[in-house]
Amino acid sequence: MVIPRLQFDHVLFKRATELVRENGGAVIQDFPVSDVHLVGKGDEQRIIGVSGIVGGRRSGNEVMTFTAPLTIGAGGYNCPVSRKITETHGEPMRDDDHYIPAYREYWEMECGKTGPIALQFIGGELGGGYFWICPVREGLCNVGIGMVQRELKQHKTKLRALQAQIIAEHPKFKVRFESAKMVEGSGIGHMIPCGSPRKHPPSYQPRRIAMAGAGCVGDSATLVNAFSGEGIDPAFVSAKTLIAHFDRDEHADGFPSEAAHDYQVELWKQLGPVMTNSYKMQKLVKKRRLMNWFMGKASKDDKRGRMIRDQLELAVSSKSAQEDVATPWQLIKLMLF
Ligand SMILES: Cc1cc2nc3c(=O)[nH]c(=O)nc-3n(C[C@H](O)[C@H](O)[C@H](O)COP(=O)(O)OP(=O)(O)OC[C@H]3O[C@@H](n4cnc5c(N)ncnc54)[C@H](O)[C@@H]3O)c2cc1C
């Protein structure tokens, strides 16, 4: 199922607002957090709250400061809470091997109401990455592209230009776009912070995301699935896990570093296997000859072809299958036996 973010975010925000208000809280919009406050020294350091200005610096409004036993960083890939946590521990926040810049546009084109999602792994001269066409509703598609930051830098390419090139020149896609029209102003770029395991993490996997007084969730905790690009499900899992480690009474004087440690260990225990295998799959699909051979087998209309297709579909959509399919040996077994 595909739903535009405008609608999804509205439903989510509306429900979250209701829950917060029902529990005696308040919701403030248009409040960019500019400072995250830290107290203490050395191992005793802890985050105690945030400051910002409603409407931003140029609004002329006054600075507002909020303190809490637990500050939750949910500000996406560039979250100031996440930055403060990593800076405080002298650890890197961003990793070019695990961050994927993405760009999308909406196109008026033939795609059917519930037509199939087209996902193309691009390689060769175009660099390497994904190009997708997702039908949103009859006659409207979400068309986008994403590539690992390090590869993008190596190829000195801009995603927007790369997408235009694929649409105009790629033998498989240019025909589909012949009578298509881009929705003016719909182009938008974003960063996808993946939850794939880091090679030599200084502390936690995929990265440090919590400390005394604070914990991060969702993109702020770099949790997007590196193969499917899904970040909403792990965002909810992280939020549930973090809050399960917070005790309103016991931690009234501040979320302790032990609870922050437990949150990080527990979250990786839950998400680590899927994140690790999704990363392996992301790497596997870049092996062009292997993939072409594999897809050749998958496209055959025999028992094995159907089995591989079923497994592939599951690998993209099902979490438990992502834990199963991902090693080269398992893929080879699937193809040969
Ligand atoms: C092109 C694209 C397609 C995607 N498709 C899918 C998909 O199909 N399925 C899926 O599951 N995931 C998808 N994802 C990933 C998904 O969008 C994210 O993982 C998800 O939105 C993460 O939610 P979040 O709330 O953690 O972060 P975000 O959605 O980024 O929200 C962060 C919020 O924090 C706010 N903010 C930032 N800085 C500050 C600040 N200083 N002060 C106050 N507020 C701040 C931002 O304005 C924003 O509202 C896609 C991502 C991209 C880029």
307-336: per-residue pLDDT in tens? 777 766 666 655 554 555 545 556 555 555
**For residues 74-80, average pLDDT:** 97
Residue nearest to atom 46 of ligand 1 (CA): 75
75 lines ligand 1 (CB under 6 A): yes
Task: Answer yes or no: is pLDDT of 291 > 90.
Answer: no
* Ligand 1 closest atom vs CA 217: 26
User: How does 103-115 read in b/e, with b if 16+ C-beta sit within 10 Å?
Assistant: bbbbbebebeeee
- Model confidence at 337, pLDDT cuts 50, 70, 90, reads very low
Say which amino acid occupies 281: M
* pTM metric for this prediction: 0.88
For the chain, the average pLDDT equals 88
pLDDT at residue number 124: 61
Please state the domain extents for the chain: 31-95+194-280, 99-193, 285-336
Q: Ligand 1 centroid vs 60 CA: distance in angstroms?
A: 28
Our answer on whether the CB atom of 102 is closer than 6 Å to any ligand 1 atom is: yes
Expressed in angstroms and rounded, the spacing between residue 7 Cα and the centre of ligand 1 is 14
Q: How far apart are CA 128 and CA 124, in angstroms?
A: 7
Q: Which residue has the higher pLDDT, 258 or 140?
A: 258
Q: Give dist(CA 188, CA 185) in Å, integer.
A: 8
Q: Residues for the chain: how many in total?
A: 337
Closest ligand 1 atom number to CA of residue 75: 34
Residue 229 Cβ inside 6 Å of ligand 1? The answer reads: yes
Q: In terms of CATH, what superfamily is 31-95+194-280? A: FAD/NAD(P)-binding domain (3.50.50.60)
- How high is the pLDDT of residue 280? 83
The residue whose CA is least distant from atom 33 of ligand 1 is 75
Q: Does domain 99-193 have CATH number 1.10.3720.10?
A: no
Distance CA 246, CA 103 (A): 36
SS (H, E, C) 2-47: CCCHHHHHHHHHHHHHHHHHHCCCCCCCCCCEEEEEEECCHHHCEE
> For ligand 1, is residue 254 a contact (CB within 6 Å)?
no
Q: Decide: 105 in ligand 1 pocket, CB within 6 A.
A: no
* Residue 304 pLDDT grade (very low, low, confident, very high; cuts 50, 70, 90): confident
For residue 203, name the pLDDT band (cuts at 50, 70, 90). very high
Task: Say how many Å lie between the CA of residue 219 and the centre of ligand 1.
Answer: 6
